[in-house]
Amino acid sequence: MHYSLGIDAGGTYTDAVLIRDSDGEIIESNKALTTYPDPLAGIKNVIDDLDSDYLKDVKLVSVSTTLSTNTILEGTGFPVALILIGAHPLEKELPAKHILFAAGGHNHNGEEVAKLDLEAIEKFALRVKDRVSAFAISSYFSTRNPEHEIRARDLVLEHTGLPAVCGHELSQELGAYERAVTAFLNAQLIPITRQFVQSIISDIVKRGIDARLLMLKCDGSVVGIRDALKKPIETIFSGPAASLVGASYLSGLKTCAVIDVGGTSTDISSICMGVPDLNNEGAIVGGWKTRVRAIRMETTATGGDSHVWIVDRELFLGPRRVMLLAMATVKYPTFLNNLKRTPMPPREDLGENIQPTKFFVRSDYLAGELSRAEAEVLEVIREEPVSVPEIKALIRKDLHPQTLDSLIRKRLVQAIGFTPTDALHVLGEYTAWNEEASRIGAERLARVMRMPPGEFCTAVKKRVAKNMALHLLSYILEGVPYAAIEKILDGNYPAKFKLDIPIVLLGGPARAHRKELEGIIDAEILVPEHAEVGNAVGALVGKGIKRVEILIRPASLMSPDKDFLVFAPDSRLKFDTYSEALETATELGKKLVADYMRDCGLSGNQVEISVEKKTISPDGWNHPPMETNLLIMGVGVRELPF
């Protein structure tokens, strides 16, 4: 008997599920806290409680994660240097602090338009190498000829030893700016993705499990886990993609919308007849448009661990994730007493980092470059949580909230605070941790809001449900202004929205929000069995999907019957005749698809490859096509009863 193991690492929990291959039955599931900065302990903990008799017969391990997504959403990614080669547009904002514009680049036919300035790239790399964790390189028209990106990458690696990402490796679409942003975000995610993947591999190997290792991509398809190391940007939404296909599997619905209530965010997406709704324009991550093909989704930075904070008697949720009070009390022995005795801050001082329930604790990340103020504050934040008044007393001076904010962004400090999950603890609807800490936190914030604690917690819960409904409707009513939907939900109208598509809720506390959501919208709302580990299930049910796009054009329109250029991923080829170019391009595309599928453990009858050809020629054109676009697509399904 063989089994498959699905693992999902979220911002708060790492989930695992064992499925029997013969009939698709879920045999066991488990949850454990995600650990930082090394997720290995969390992965080990979640697998430890699974039956070892099943584990020895596991032949497939597939994983998904929201760690990359959360890194970008929270602005806590690793520092990256960006090298732009050629005539990149300067009028748009770029996400990097360290940027070099270097001479070089190619034209639309892949011909060099300027010599690559290797000297400038070398000087830049040596100057910033101690301030960054990776490099991103984007050359103008690198999709037509990647030579300059590759030379720059090799030079950076030689002189710094740091990883470097090329834009052409991530997208074959035109759009120099979006490709540069995609390369930057990918490079930013390399350290955390590498650590996550190596942790998975290490634990599986130590257990003696001989299994193929896969990772879910953000379009709901799977990829060999080692390939994910090269392109972590393609896993940015693998957590939400896992929730989508997992919800469909658990509910038995081929068509549904999904609301996944996570720790850091709530994600809304949909699937129609078993096919995820994709955003072909490229995923938007943290406000940055990329060239990554991903599921279309609506994301709100409000999750079960979002920080609940108050300013001027107004309630705020997120966008940052904090450790909930109920969990901190279990993890840190002295915290409960500290929470009880910490003085209430003056109302005029309240802000995101100054709250009657906000505390700070040192993380295990190593400190890099720090300002003097950051170093002073970090020195007094240790292994037990401290409040702002305690920090001020220890440094013997006033504390700027921006200093704390910077330390949080650099991952050196973990914040603790009141969350929607704490509110559920007080209401008795989700009690995984210490209810007393949640109650004390609710009493403190309720005092600021001048309302009873129970009423305050109900208000938090309703705010979360309204936020879920607002983003669900914004997703479904594509094109309808967000403000118009919000106005209707906020108004006291004798009507509510009716949806003709079923809604599936996933996540640990999902059941607690079902009733409030039903009061806002009229729809069939389901919480399937195993909803709390739906993402881990989804990690196993993704198909193998590979798309390869290849462009064929005549080298010159002055002689359109000879000399044809083929622009394929990582290569630029030249042929005498159109038929030779078309035949070679088609076979090359099929080979790239087959190689990819083989890495996913799929071959033969498991894989179906299709070739779509689109040509462009003006009226009266009596020559081979002016442009030929080939889309070679492979779809592979593992021999499992999903």
Q: Is the domain of 338 the same as that of 446?
A: yes
pLDDT at 424: 94
The domain tally of the chain equals: 2
Asked whether residue 437 is domain-assigned, the answer is yes
Question: How confident is the model over 351-361, as pLDDT tens digits?
Answer: 898 999 999 99
Asked whether residue 325 is domain-assigned, the answer is yes
Task: Count the neighbouring beta carbons within 10 Å of the beta carbon of residue 45.
Answer: 17
36 CB-near residues (< 8 Å, 6+ apart): 363, 364, 365, 411, 414
pLDDT at 25: 85
pLDDT at 512: 86
pLDDT at 217: 72
Phi, psi angles (nearest 5°) of residue 526: -115, 145
Q: Is the pLDDT of residue 456 over 90?
A: yes
Q: Mean pLDDT check: name the lowest of 157-166, 181-190, 475-484.
A: 181-190
Question: Which of 421, 456, 491 is the C-terminal boundary of a domain?
Answer: 456
Q: Is the pLDDT of residue 606 over 90?
A: no
Asked whether residue 609 is domain-assigned, the answer is yes
Q: Mean pLDDT check: name the lowest of 93-97, 304-308, 573-577.
A: 93-97
Q: Is the domain of 432 the same as that of 555?
A: no
In 3D, which of 241, 196, 168 has the Cα closest to residue 67?
A: 196
The residue ranking higher by pLDDT, 374 or 426, is: 426
Q: Is the pLDDT of residue 224 over 80?
A: no
Asked whether residue 205 is domain-assigned, the answer is no
What average pLDDT does the segment 379-394 reach? Answer: 90
Asked whether residue 293 is domain-assigned, the answer is no
Angle between helix 510-520 and 453-476 (nearest 10): 70
Question: How confident is the model over 24-41, as pLDDT tens digits?
Answer: 888 898 888 888 767 788
Asked whether residue 447 is domain-assigned, the answer is yes
| Domain housing 440 | 309-456
pLDDT at 237: 63
Give 628's strand partners: 552, 615
What average pLDDT does the segment 412-416 reach? Answer: 91
Q: Is the domain of 446 the same as that of 550?
A: no
pLDDT at 326: 94
Asked whether residue 21 is domain-assigned, the answer is no
Q: Is the pLDDT of residue 319 over 60?
A: yes
To the nearest whole number, what is the mean pLDDT of the chain?
A: 83
Please give the structure tokens belonging to residue 230: 């090269």
Q: Is the pLDDT of residue 5 over 60?
A: yes
Asked whether residue 240 is domain-assigned, the answer is no
What average pLDDT does the segment 444-462 reach? Answer: 94
Q: Is the pLDDT of residue 523 over 70?
A: yes
Question: Which of 427, 456, 485 is the C-terminal boundary of a domain?
Answer: 456
For 398-408, b/e burial (b = at least 16 CB within 10 A) is ebeeebbbbbb
Q: Is the domain of 452 the same as that of 552?
A: no
Query: How far is 65 from 8, CA to CA, in rounded Å?
Result: 5
Q: Is the pLDDT of residue 131 over 70?
A: yes
Q: Is the domain of 548 the same as that of 449?
A: no
Q: From residue 70, how far is each of 56, 74, 368 by CA, in Å?
A: 33, 6, 21
Please give the structure tokens belonging to residue 142: 């690198």
pLDDT at 524: 93
Sign of the C-alpha dihedral, residues 556, 557, 558, 564? positive
pLDDT at 637: 65
What is the phi-psi region of residue 335: left when phi exceeds 0, alpha when psi lies from -120 to 50, beta otherwise?
alpha
Q: Mean pLDDT check: name the lowest of 360-369, 484-493, 541-550.
A: 541-550
pLDDT band at 71 (very low <50, low <70, confident <90, very high): low
Q: Mean pLDDT check: name the lowest of 259-263, 274-278, 301-305, 536-540.
A: 274-278
In 3D, which of 307, 311, 238 has the Cα closest to residue 276?
A: 238
pLDDT at 504: 94
Q: Is the domain of 558 the same as that of 445?
A: no
pLDDT at 437: 95
Q: Mean pLDDT check: name the lowest of 134-148, 161-175, 400-414.
A: 161-175
- Token pair 């919000």: residue: 486
Question: Which of 407, 437, 456 is the C-terminal boundary of a domain?
Answer: 456
